[in-house]
Amino acid sequence: MSDKAILTCALTGVLTDPTQHHVPVTPEQMAAEAKAAYDEGATIMHCHYRQQTPGKGHLPSWDGALAHEINDAIRAACPGVVINMTTGVVGRDQTEVLKYLAFNKPEMAAMNAGSLNYLKTRKDGSWAWPPMVFDNPVEKVAEMLAVMKANDIIPEFECFDVGIVRSVGLYLENGMVGHADYNFVMGVASGMPCDADLLPLLIKYKHPDSPWQATLIGRQNVWPVHQRVAELGGNLRTGLEDCFYLPSGDKATSNGPMIAALARCARNAGREVTSPEETRTMIAKMAWS
């Protein structure tokens, strides 16, 4: 187990409405929220980007120039920070995503590692949205990995189910990638539950010696699982993309208090959090050869 934990802040998310929640949208807001998280120990910023037209801030943008402006603003506010860009799109066509990645060349990017029926029901049993497939077939994964390799971008494999965790091991065996940084995404209604008892099995089935973290989606019930992640040696992630509630049950109005609570989980487990320099040293081990 590493004696230090990397903290990642997921600043805003994909569709959260900024008129209802305190999620950042503009470059200035993104930089300010990143700085609040950075000051509490976050050294990786996982970034989604939103349309900037008034009234459209709840919608995603794949504009490479906008992403570049936001990334620059974050880096200026947070010296040495690592940018981790989102990539996930429903459907086979990811042309816009590949272009925006190649244009920006971030240090890291999310790599959705397998497909999932993406479902949720309301209290009355009706669908919260029309049932859909978050489709990530092997050819789509390979296409994304090729662009990441060409631009020296480290993939972070997002795994929504146990079979996807095992698939990453097959990508390694097949030579599609040489190293794996696992992200266990827990709490999607039709994916893995946010359950601390599941963590030892996920660690068992990931590739040996590969780093891992957990994205925990939910309310304040996620915090005991964050604590278990820290105790088991994982890196830690939270932010207003994943959760709106602090361990106390109070609603968070900024990413800063969320990361402060996450740092406490690490320290409760006897671990410190990494500096930006230490984070870069650790992720360098996963760089493409």
Q: Give me the domain span that covers residue 99.
A: 4-284
User: What DSSP element (H or E) covers 118?
Assistant: strand 116-118
C-alpha–C-alpha distance, residues 240 and 9, integer Å: 8
Cα angle value 186/188/190 (rounded, 5°): 115
Higher pLDDT, 41 or 19: 41
- pLDDT-derived band at 2 (thresholds 50, 70, 90) equals low
Cα separation of 244 and 233, whole Å? Answer: 24
In a domain, 191, yes or no: yes
- Per cent of the chain over pLDDT 70 is 99
Q: Tell me the Ramachandran region of residue 148: left when phi exceeds 0, alpha when psi lies from -120 to 50, beta otherwise.
A: alpha
CATH assignment at residue 263: 3.20.20.70
pTM of the predicted model as reported, rounded to 2 decimal places: 0.96
* Phi and psi torsions of 265, nearest 5°: -60, -45
The lowest-confidence range among 9-18, 70-79, 157-166 is 9-18
Any domain includes 289? no
**255-282: pLDDT as tens digits:** 999 999 999 999 999 999 999 999 999 9
Give domain status of residue 155, yes or no.
Answer: yes
Confirm whether 10 is domain-assigned: yes
Rounded to whole angstroms, the Cα distance separating 4 from 2 reads 5
Q: Greater confidence, 108 or 220?
A: 108
DSSP letter at 119 equals -
Q: How many domains does the chain have?
A: 1
> Is-contact 181 172, C-beta < 8 A?
no
Tens digit of each residue's pLDDT (9 = 90 or more) over 61-114: 999 999 999 999 999 999 999 999 999 999 999 999 999 999 999 999 999 999
Kind and range of the H or E run holding 108: strand 108-112
- Say if residue 240's pLDDT is above 60: yes
- Asked whether residue 130 is assigned to any structural domain, the reply reads yes
Q: How far apart are CA 220 and CA 280, in angstroms?
A: 30
- Terminal C-alpha separation, the chain: 25
d(C-alpha 164, C-alpha 206), whole Å = 10
Asked if residues 34 and 81 have their Cβ atoms less than 8 Å apart, the reply is yes
pLDDT tens profile 110-158: 999 999 999 999 999 999 999 999 999 999 999 999 999 999 999 999 9
